[in-house]
Homo-oligomer: A and B are copies of this chain.
Amino acid sequence: MDTVLHVALGADLLGVFFFAVSGSLLAARKGFDLVGSLLLASLASLGGGVARDLILNVPPAAFTNPVYLVPPLLATVLVYFVFSRVERGMRVLVVFDAGGLALFCITGTLKALDAGLHPVSAALLGVTTAVGGGLLRDVVANEVPQLFDPRDIYALPAMLGSVVVTVLYLTGTFTLVTGTVAASLVFSLRVLAWRYGWHAPL
């Protein structure tokens, strides 16, 4: 049981880190200073989870466990001092954002199922968690949200991932292995869609 909780916390923190990097990268593109970078990283990485926890009526993890502040701090420093000018381009941002998307649709859906939500509602909350932070990031930075860009697909992989996780959970086949496969699927789908300009046929 303890192991399960550790893995869940680890996956959540990794997702937080991925979204935090996407926030710091966007801050760099917009010319924000170091504090602005930290704030946008925090909003992008913690916003979706806070919304999820408020809806589930549990204390928001970001405000009860200070360890959640480490990923945004780390991401800010990394992007500022380590990433070169080239690496601050759109390509790296999309990859990190996709990593956060993949992990959050899974951890969000699981947390909702564990809280006893109806499977349909749990999948909805998983998608909300996954797309929420990135949406806040883009709106606050005055960008057209990636979420609504008709030139590629963004929400569809997260929807697919949330449904897959719900089915795995209900059939008792959710394990570290199947969960990792689901996350990889969401991640690959999102990155490939962006790379090759796949878009919804409608």
In this complex, what residue of B is CB-closest to A125? B63
Measured CA separation A144–B69 after assembly (Å): 25
Is the Cβ of B145 less than 8 Å from the Cβ of A35? Answer: no
Is the Cβ of A36 less than 8 Å from the Cβ of B148? Answer: yes
Interface residue SS majority, chain A = helix
Q: Which of B65, B139, B150 contacts A139 (CB 8 A)?
A: B139
- Residues from chain B with Cβ under 8 Å of A147 in the complex: 36, 39
Task: From known contacts A30-B148, A140-B139, infer whether A155 and B35 are also in contact, taking CB-CB under 8 Å.
Answer: yes
Q: Mark A132-162, 1 if CB is under 8 A from B, else 0.
A: 0001000111101101101001011001000
- Residues from chain B with Cβ under 8 Å of A50 in the complex: 55
Q: Which of B31, B80, B117 contacts A150 (CB 8 A)?
A: B31
Is the Cβ of B34 less than 8 Å from the Cβ of A200? Answer: yes
Interface residues of A in 19-59 (CB under 8 A from B): 27, 30-36, 39-40, 50, 54-55, 57, 59
- Residues from chain B with Cβ under 8 Å of A62 in the complex: 121, 124
- Residues from chain B with Cβ under 8 Å of A40 in the complex: 148
- A202 interface residue (CB < 8 Å to B): yes
- A171 interface residue (CB < 8 Å to B): no
- A118 interface residue (CB < 8 Å to B): yes
Q: Which of B30, B121, B144, B155 contacts A66 (CB 8 A)?
A: B121
- A3 interface residue (CB < 8 Å to B): no
Measured CA separation A144–B139 after assembly (Å): 10
Q: Mark A146-182, 1 if CB is under 8 A from B, else 0.
A: 0110100101100100000000000000000000000
